[in-house]
Structure 1
Amino acid sequence: MRFQFLGDHLGLDLAATVSWRETRPVDLLAEPADLREWLTLAGLRPLGAVTADSLAAAVDVREAVYGAAYACVAGRPVGSADLALLNDFAGREPMRPVVVRAGVMTWSGGVEQALATVARETCRLVGTPEHARVRRCEGAPCTRLFLDNSRAGGRRWCDKRACGSRVNAAAYRERRAARGERAEPGLS
């Protein structure tokens, strides 16, 4: 699946639409149709057209989200430009929740309202003690950020099955090599 929602937070999932930021960046929001797909999968199906201008705005919001969240991970102050952009979008009209029936809700609004909703959620994350639970995946070269909602606060990977498995397999191979054992077929 092209878009993965592993961040446990709407804003962090938007930030993850650039894969491998530090080694070989891949922008998954290359076309307006990509943004429509992401918003739909995120549960924010926008009404109206998704234009090149709305894609550019989404990329600006995404980069501000990443900058603010990464500052939280690094223990640095959030950049003033990122805060200004997030606060600007958060001050706009968000999407409206619409209850379809008990247990089923959708959202109503256009792309700008969807981006305002993402910005508001990010402001709630960065502006509360919850910001201390933002983590960066330890599975190099992954650069995904996520919200650690584990009870002990010890989550290390964006996805235990992908990044966690890769890290554990590499550690296993290193331990075997250190003991002078040969790798088992299929585990290299």
Structure 2
Amino acid sequence: MTDRFRSGAGRLCLDFIRTLRYRGTPAESEELPDAEAWGAWIDQLGPFDTPVRPTSVADARAVREAIHALLTDAPVRPSVRQRLNRFAALPVPAPSLTTSGELRWQAADPASAMVALLARDALDLVTSPEFARVRRCAGPACGALFLDTSRPGTRRWCSMEICGNQAKKSTYRAKSATG
């Protein structure tokens, strides 16, 4: 079974903002159309071992847009900062050790706790040296943000398997057509 949502951007908050796929293009696609999809995202990428069933997707979308604005807008609007600070102040999941020695994460409201984790991750990222390595994918139809963890800091694509491969195919076809 393949995962429904993309991951691998280098930080949880970067994976989350990718739920508005192809942002700003005619192919823009909402991957969180409802509370069920938000629960599926938490189930796939969150810390909980039991399914999460939120009743609303509104806070998730609000924090997603605030995170995107925090990472891409300069200067950061006060309303964005205030919104993220408010979400980050919510209770986060608490770890607990089971009798068998397994770590479990619990929260009275797992969806709100997930929103808090995402906001805190974004605030941590934007105030860390890693922020200088946040890149926009060079794929012409993609534009996803990712954390460049390559040693030289020259990574161009969010995914070598998808966007990088498409770019290399296009380059190969263009060379073949001219030569």
TM-score by length of 2: 0.87
- Equivalences for 1:32-181 in 2 at 5 Å? 32-45=35-48, 49-52=53-56, 55-71=57-73, 76-99=74-97, 105-109=103-107, 110-179=110-179
User: How many equivalent pairs are there?
Assistant: 172
Q: Provide closer, same or farther for how the CA distance between residues 127 and 8 of structure 1 changes in structure 2, counting only shifts above 3 A.
A: same
Q: Which runs of 5+ in 2 are unaligned?
A: none
Structure 2: distance between partners of 1:98 and 1:79: 37
SS of the residue 1:153 aligns to = coil
Q: Provide closer, same or farther for how the CA distance between residues 167 and 41 of structure 1 changes in structure 2, counting only shifts above 3 A.
A: same
* Contact 2:40-2:52 at 8 Å conserved across structures: no
- Percent identity over the alignment? 33
Q: Does residue 22 of the first structure (1) align with residue 54 of the second (2)?
A: no
After TM superposition, the structure 1 stretch with the greater mean CA deviation from structure 2, 148-157 or 158-167, is: 148-157
RMSD (Å) for aligned C-alpha atoms: 1.9
Superposed displacement of residue 66, structure 1? 1.2
Structure 2: distance between partners of 1:167 and 1:98: 45
Q: Which runs of 5+ in 1 are unaligned?
A: 180-188
Give the aligned residue type for 2:76.
V
Provide, for residues 59-93 of structure 1, a one-character-per-residue CA deviation record: whole Å limited to 9, x for no partner: 0001111111223xxxx322322221111111221
Superposed displacement of residue 178, structure 1? 2.6
TM-score by length of 1: 0.83
Superposed displacement of residue 96, structure 1? 1.5
Q: Provide closer, same or farther for how the CA distance between residues 98 and 159 of structure 1 changes in structure 2, counting only shifts above 3 A.
A: farther
Superposed displacement of residue 10, structure 1? 0.6
Structure 2: distance between partners of 1:114 and 1:29: 14
Structure 2: distance between partners of 1:150 and 1:136: 14
